[in-house]
Amino acid sequence: MKTLTAFILFSLSALPAFAAEPPVAIDLIKSAIDNYRGLNSYSEASMTIHRKEWQRVVEMKVWTQDLDKSLVRVTAPKKDKDAGTLLIGDDMWSYAPKINRIIKIPGSMSNQSWMGSDFSNNDIARADDIIDQYTHRIINTSTENNKKIYTIESVPHEDAPVVWGKEILRVNEDFVFLEHQFYDQDNQLVKTLIASEIKLIDGKYISLRQRMTKTDNKEEWTEFHTSTIKFNIEFSSNTFTLSNLRNPR
């Protein structure tokens, strides 16, 4: 759950001042990921899945620790209550309360939809793989609303276990991901994540709303809205465990 929890959820530290030297692309990405996650964080969010003929809202609570642990637990609607997803490193599990079963998510399902949304398991589980598995370069610098905006092209290493041909990210000087585009192996844009409702919380600029839209059907989208977020929370040693995934404490 690192993209979605990533993304929903997905806030952390700051980049050194750029007074003497221009920014480095990978440092911008690291700082933006850090800014969004927090060393430890707790948040409450809703996920709206919009389709032409229907719309569904899922409410959830999210816990994150460092860059490699996250737990998402559904609180509403009632029929999905207590369903959850646990991420520890590269391992991901899903809990289905209706059958009282924990399922390990295999790599072969990484590109499947997460909870019926426009986010994939890969988006949720591998948010920070972009740091190690890609080569990054700044391809444009602009100014919007008196803030510098850096456009970064991220191309995966030849042997990287990723599904995308490249990713394009726009990051502002406050280390907020404003936009994230995903391209397939044929260099065609597949989907775009756009951030909005950016606010200063606990000394960090955070995007409280992010919408993922697929290129081939822009009338369908999934949007995360974070209503509550707290940083530097103390968690018990039981928080990120399979036991807690099945039996919330």
Q: For every one of its 249 residues, what pLDDT tens digit does the chain have, with 9 covering 90 and above?
A: 444 544 444 333 333 444 446 789 999 999 998 887 767 889 999 999 999 999 999 999 999 888 788 899 999 999 999 999 999 988 899 999 999 999 999 877 877 898 899 998 777 655 567 888 999 999 999 999 899 999 999 999 999 888 899 999 999 999 999 999 999 999 999 999 999 999 998 888 999 999 999 999 999 999 999 999 998 889 999 999 999 999 887
Question: 3-state SS of the chain: helix, strand, coil percent to 5?
Answer: 15, 50, 35
> Strands (DSSP E) along 18-107, which ranges?
40-50, 55-65, 69-76, 84-88, 91-96, 101-104
From CA 170, how far away is CA 138, in angstroms rounded?
Answer: 10
Strands 204-214 and 84-88: unpaired
CB 125 within 8 A of CB 9: no
pTM: 0.85
In the beta sheet, which residues pair with residue 60?
A: 45, 74
**C-alpha to C-alpha distances, 16 to 7, 19, 175, 197, 244, nearest whole angstrom:** 24, 9, 11, 25, 38
DSSP H/E element including 131: helix 129-133
| Cβ neighbours around 107 below 10 Å, total | 12
Domain 4-246 has CATH 2.50.20.10: yes
